[in-house]
Amino acid sequence: MLKARYGSLTAEELAVKLFEIGVLDHTLCKVLAVREYVARRMTEGSKKIDAMWEASEHFCCTYEYIRKCIYYYTDVNMV
């Protein structure tokens, strides 16, 4: 259905469109971005807690919010 309706859009334009029509959950997208950032920093050599502190600075939010993204949102998979 999406391909038929929005097949000519780029990936970025499609993501914006899906946000506009309410198909994507804004909160879970933020959680996924935080989790991916922390995972990337860990593969670059940071310890998990350090990566989480770096994420709080990068995303301009509290460390507690980062902890919530990492430990409490278990339904977001990074596959």
Within a domain: 7:
no
Within a domain: 8:
no
Within a domain: 16:
no
Domain membership of residue 31 as a residue range: 25-79
In angstroms, how far is the first alpha carbon of the chain from the final one? Answer: 23
What is the tens place of the pLDDT at every residue in 50-70?
999 999 999 999 999 999 999
| Amino acid at position 30, single letter | K
Q: How many domains does the chain have?
A: 1
Question: HEC states along the chain?
Answer: CHHHHHCCCCHHHHHHHHHHCCCCCHHHHHHHHHHHHHHHHHHCCCCHHHHHHHHHHHCCCCHHHHHHHHHHCCCCCCC
The pLDDT score that the predictor gives to residue 76 is 61
The pLDDT score that the predictor gives to residue 52 is 98
Within a domain: 48:
yes
Q: How confident is the model at residue 47 (pLDDT cuts 50, 70, 90)?
A: very high
Within a domain: 63:
yes
